Structure 1
Amino acid sequence: MTDPYPAQQPQQPYPQGQPSWPTQQYQPPIGDPAPQPTGFITGSPAGAPPKRSRKPLIVAAAAAAGILLLVVAGLAVYDGFIKEDSGIAMCKAMRDGKNIDGSTDATDDDKMTEAEYLEARELFEDSRHEKIREHGTALIDIAWQITQMPDADSGGALAFIGPMGTHVSGLQTACADQGIIVNLNSDK
């Protein structure tokens, strides 16, 4: 008779010490964060430097931008309201009979030097007032052209009388618009 329950054979070891089924690690469902064990520091793996916060860098950049904004605003206020306009300063100097350098000594035979011409022209060019800038630079340009003429060609200066009259009266009006009355008549 045959035994209905055959004897169990001893289990054979796994081939090469491996189980025959695949192993798998736990994967949390998508969108569900894996639970973190409490009491452990999470973040960077052992040996890696910890991540630094960017907050101090952002605060420093905001502070630098704020300081830069204050400096620019301060310069704009100084230039626009505190510092006297160079064209207004020229109107006051002409009203007071002063030269560009502030002196009052003037001789009739002095020719304008190139440095004086460039300095006077720059003072009018830097004015914030359009009419002072326009008539002042034109008047300085005419004066420069006349002083550069040879002494024998004094008749050539007559060609500048019309434009000079226009710009003298225009500059007087522009200065008067700013509250400075300038008398450019030579019989002072």
Structure 2
Amino acid sequence: MKTTADLLLHPVRLRIVQALLGDRRMTTAALAAELSDVSTATLYRHVALLADAGVLETVGEQRVRGAVERTYALHLAAAQVADEDLAAMSPEDHRRAFMAFVAGLLAGYDRYLDRGDVDLRRDGVGYRQTALWLSDDEFAAFAADLRAVFQARAGNGPGGGRTRRVVTTVLMPSAPSPAED
């Protein structure tokens, strides 16, 4: 049986999950349009795996040319990798998982750049890296502050002039330099 990590950290399945973040509801056809570099057969296979595992929920069905077209939403609680699965992963497993994560970011950024009308300032696009010197307690407070900022806005749905924005965070300690030891 696959662990949640095995299920979610596949590059195509991770991109499907990322496409549905933010309370989006999409048919497989809409996912295919958004992930146009993924073959239809591959996309349908991975959507089925995610649906069978309860990561995707069917939130609507309609008949289209004799077939049933399903609309899916992300079941966020099922799309989390459990702490015990993370702890059981080898360093190589973590490398592969991080590469799948970064590949999803690159694909999303490529889609943004390929749309033609690109203005990073207008669109609020940016990528930065900052180093902070924090004790463990200061880092815990910082992480709690970040969670609070995200949670205060996580309930916003589409409409009302809102644009779906994907915010990605990567937090990790850096290796100390010899001068810091």
Considering the TM-score relative to the shorter chain, is it more than 0.5?
no
Of structures 1 and 2, the larger Rg is shown by 1
Bigger RCO (CA 8 Å, 6+ sep): 2
Q: Output the TM-score relative to the length of structure 2.
A: 0.24
Return the TM-score normalized by structure 1.
0.24
> Higher strand fraction: Structure 1 or Structure 2?
2
